[in-house]
Structure 1
């Protein structure tokens, strides 16, 4: 009995793949380090290839695991990392508020994300390094405006002082969970509505199956 309970608990676990994308040196690795280990590396080196961390969250009493992939921003590694976008259901699209060119690259990163992922991937636009107030080149309103135009969540963060870092990751994970929960609920409602009296179940057929079945049935009534 204990084994069954353990198996039941395991089926309630969720694993979501989330990718961090954006130009080199916008702070992707430090965002992940701050969120996963509450660490910050002022002299961190550029990521080569791909690294990932798994973080657990409890949502509605269920254990949700976010497998967060940190992709290299340098052009020469893009061919290596592009395969790792596949299967991602969430993304943090990161730019540096103190470097205008990293914000100008967001459109390209968004296109790449949609090329390798489902168009419905839950995405948050993250303006990182909000602690660099005096060096700001991208106004908050501009970041927010782009996010609204593209249908993205938006948040400014600082991996240095940890502001909004956890909130940014949790926003994505919770939205993915909510979408999945709605799909599961809808599926359960369809299954419930298919069950009618005496325990009999109505078999729902695809339209092509119905047409094929109709073509094989003898025609009723009419002559010529």
Structure 2
């Protein structure tokens, strides 16, 4: 049985509603400390910005249940510590059986963006390759000042990085509801910044995982069917040879 499948109402009576299938996926949320990973997972799962936040020690996870295309999808968002001293003993544990990764940086802290390279390398070293869906999330967009050009990570730079790494890109704020557009002046022309809703992120992750799971299942069925055909032909050939 697929380990990502769960069933509810398994002890229900004959008059109970039919069993509901629920796929559970482990989603790793990583990035430097203080980029807002804990606040982001709170907002993604509870729909609220926490009134008080303390540094994550080790790892914590929160869950979000969604209905995607009539199928129940449960996301387990693993909020990991950004500090090296907390991560070192936990690395192998939280990289095990990962289905997707969110790489989070602070749009007002270029150092946190530059640090993504080491996080990507850590994923690679722990066998989390590009076949695992990866998402780039620029957080704290409510603090972006459109009048400044220094000390911020431009969307153009983030989009270019995301394309090079094969990631889907979002820029959002875990604290404030997003505005449709933030406009300002850069050089001689006007520039607009698109701010994404936090809800868009969780829906995109769930939809991507659902599609990938269906594709994997279809490929497995096709592989098994092909193997059976080849085995039958081989058996017939061997039998003809023996005769």
TM-score, normalised relative to structure 2: 0.74
TM superposition shift of 1:9: 2.9
Hey, which of these two has a bigger chunk of strand by percent? 2
Residue 34 (structure 1) aligned with residue 6 (structure 2): no
Residue 166 (structure 1) shift: 1.5
1:130 equivalent in structure 2: 141
31 and 162 in structure 1: CA distance in 2 versus 1, 3 angstrom threshold? farther
Which whole-Å CA distance do the structure 2 matches of 1:175 and 1:157 have between them?
Answer: 19
Q: How many residue pairs align between the two structures? A: 208
Q: Quote the offset at 1:3 in angstroms.
A: 6.2
Provide the C-alpha distance between the structure 1 equivalents of 2:16 and 2:214, rounded to a whole number of angstroms: 22
Determine if contact 1:94/1:126 at 8 Å carries over to the other structure. Answer: yes
Give 3-state SS (helix, strand or coil) of 1:65's partner: strand
CA distance in 2, matches of 1:153, 1:117: 20
Distance change >3 Å, CA 7–CA 88, structure 1 → 2: farther
Alpha-carbon distance between aligned partners in 2 of 1:219 and 1:190, rounded to the nearest angstrom:
27
Contact 2:68-2:206 at 8 Å conserved across structures: no
Deviation at 1:62, TM superposition (A): 1.3
Q: Distance in 2 between matches of 1:205 and 1:6?
A: 45
Structure 1 residue 53, shift from structure 2 partner: 0.8
Alignment match, 2:176: 161
Do the aligned partners of 1:24 and 1:73 also contact (CA within 8 Å) in 2?
A: yes
Equivalent residue, structure 2, for 1:152? 167
1:137-190 Cα offsets, whole Å, 9 max, x none, are 110110010000110000101011143211112211210111111233344566
Larger Rg: 1
Question: Which structure's residues are more often helix, by fraction?
Answer: 1
**SS state of the match for residue 97, structure 2?**
coil
Q: Which runs of 5+ in 1 are unaligned?
A: 195-201
Gapped runs of 5+ residues in structure 2?
1-11, 179-196
Match of 1:121 in 2: 132
Distance (Å, rounded) in 1 between the aligned partners of 2:57 and 2:30:
13
